[in-house]
Structure 1
Amino acid sequence: MQNTAETGPDAPIDMTPLLDDPYAAYAALRDAGPVHRITGADGHPAWLVTRYDDVRRALADPRLSLDKRHATPNGYRGFALPPALDANLLNMDPPDHTRVRRLVVKAFTTGRVEALRAPARRIADELLDAMAERGRAELIADYAGPLSIAVICDLLGIPHRDRPDFLAWSDALITPDPSRPELMKEAIGAMLKFYTGLIAAKRAEPGDDLLSDLIAVRDEAAPGEEDDRLTEDELTSLAFLILFAGYESTAHLIGNAVLALLDHPDQLGELQRNPAELPTAVEEFLRFDNPYPVAIRRFPMEDMEIGGVRIPAGESVLLSIASANRDPARFPEPDALDRGRDLSGHLGMGHGIHHCLGAALARLEVVTALEALLGRFPELRLAVPRGDLRHRRALRARGLISLPVAW
């Protein structure tokens, strides 16, 4: 691949290699130059940043806005979400981002997350019990997905009866059918109705859950702090973001981690013998094969340079977490799975003020999922040839379509 940073927006690079073989493609791009012109998922040009130092600096650069109001007119087209689902932390800059995140952290406590450890293990064991009799399973659909959705729904206090509907709506948004665009529109409408009704029910009858706490943060501002609370749209959108992002990212991180271990049977055996090393292993999985290869798009609020390349104000900037985490200038032999390497500074959970709010919960879930799975099935193996596995073809999502396993 050639560096197209100097050839202008009319000559974006071919996206096919980034979708079919991303890590090899990113290596070629890093060698060719630090910043490249691409065509984004919305069909509009974007700037892709590939090298570790540039990505890390940009993640914390206040000149790069997440607020779509700073985008060039007609230069960005993302999900057409209603305000009640779009007013979340992924679209905010300070001071709104600072205000909302501070309020959410009050409800998203370490104690609440830690209290989910035992229930998560119970759910994992129940799922494994159901799988054990068959001798084989599709690990995403039978284990990683159900575990992830159960834990995040327990956190928010979403009743069991509503969970299958949520899975269907999420799939419609995550992997839309281009031949039936109405399905995504229907899913968005159904999700908005669902969250509005759920919040009303929690208001009427609060529970010991995160959503009830967020509603209290919204409704019970202290005197003089009325302007420092969540709006109703922010409350609804936060519930949507926590559930949607928490389910998808964790499910695919579990799948990616299991595949990495099946590709490295020596390390699989070591972790089966020493499960106490799983927390460190999860940090390497986050670096090695992250479910979010590209950070949420950003828009320069002024003309600026990244890696020596001038980027005009308002144009879309994509920061490649996947490429940065495989940059040999920061991580020697980056394509090797190495739990013993220096993992400080990896960008698997982001960096700066937009560092993943649910990082602690995601780590807890993945450690719990792997500990239960590896302990139950010491002879875990792929049930299909390695070449038959397929990932979703998406720039911003890295997850297996399926992972058939046997034991």
Structure 2
Amino acid sequence: MSLALISADREAAAAVDPSDLISFDSLLSTEELALRNRVRTFVREDIKPNIAKWYEEARFPLEIVPELAKLGLLGMHLKGYGCAGGTAVEYGLAAAELEAGDSGIRTFVSVQGSLAMSAISKHGSEEQKQEWLPPMAAGEAIGCFGLTEPTAGSDPSAMTTFARRDGRDWVLNGTKRWIGLANVAHVAVIWAQTDTGVRGFVVPTGTPGFTATPIEPKLSMRASVQCEISLENLRLPAEAVLPNVAGLKGPFSCLNEARYGIAWGTMGAARDAFEDALAYSKERLQFGRPLAGYQLTQQKLVNMALEINKGFLLALHLGRLKDAGKLQPHQISVGKLNNCREAIDICREARTILGGNGITLEHSPLRHANNLESVRTYEGTDEIHTLILGQKLTGVGAFR
């Protein structure tokens, strides 16, 4: 690509990034910018015109799954088996653009790729990979990830779902809760206690004994679906177990993939809320002048923009570390804790600039803020990530 085209591309991107005070795009490669802009265009043309309706209807738009697959976003950080093999930074940039549309859209990509597909890719047999990864990358099969239970959220070691041996078979009984897209999934990765510790199982959702019931009504993540899964004497062959991992390190390795994406995604939501509030402040007149002309409004806008810039810099740093194979688990907690916390504050502050109009679905900040209540909770609450970082700083675990 010529220097003139690169410059034009960056100028075009800056025109739709009014929060960028630090020339963030200058830190990205041509390939990263191209991927980011492709996803941004998709979100602008296919998600934003429809998201208010999907959110109001409490419906995840399954019709966009093939489009997400065409963009290479399903399992995009995995290599082989039809996956795009993208970098960590490219995945992060895509996550930010998707969540600028809605957290529910980014969550689908995360559940599909960072959780379900990652579990099979990292820990599955070659037969399991060949069976499931290509159709999941192509959007022809949807996956879900069953770890959380009604009484085992932050403490997955307390799970009561149990898999017992019956001859060569496994028989599973238990309940999982807050499992994304389980009612439309074709395959579930289910984690269960066994006589020898926690194991993962690849479960076709048509297996007798598998029931997924959507959790309704919800005030958050309405353009997504979360379910309760019931497992009643669900019988699986020996080949269903993930053979290459035992213990909680299996699900935790997948959770860290998802947590990394959240550090980027939340900043996308924050940026979109900021842009909505900034545009409104320039048009809305009070006392004969635009809201943007008042010092208090400018203070709000500046504070929001500063945190967005810092949040993206943190996410990019984590991505570069991840691509270099140097990212540590506690560093992921820094990104998840900080960026979720700042993003929800930004969205709430953006709503105040919109006044009463901000409670309608015509504007995005309160929808984003509601969604971020869920994002802030799943993949580790503020409290859990605070304890992870506290242990890193002090050397003393304070979880119990």
TM-score between both structures, scaled by the size of structure 1: 0.29
Q: Identify which of structures 1 and 2 has the higher relative contact order when contacts are C-alpha pairs closer than 8 Å and 6+ apart.
A: 1
Q: Which has the higher strand share?
A: 2
TM-score between both structures, scaled by the size of structure 2: 0.29
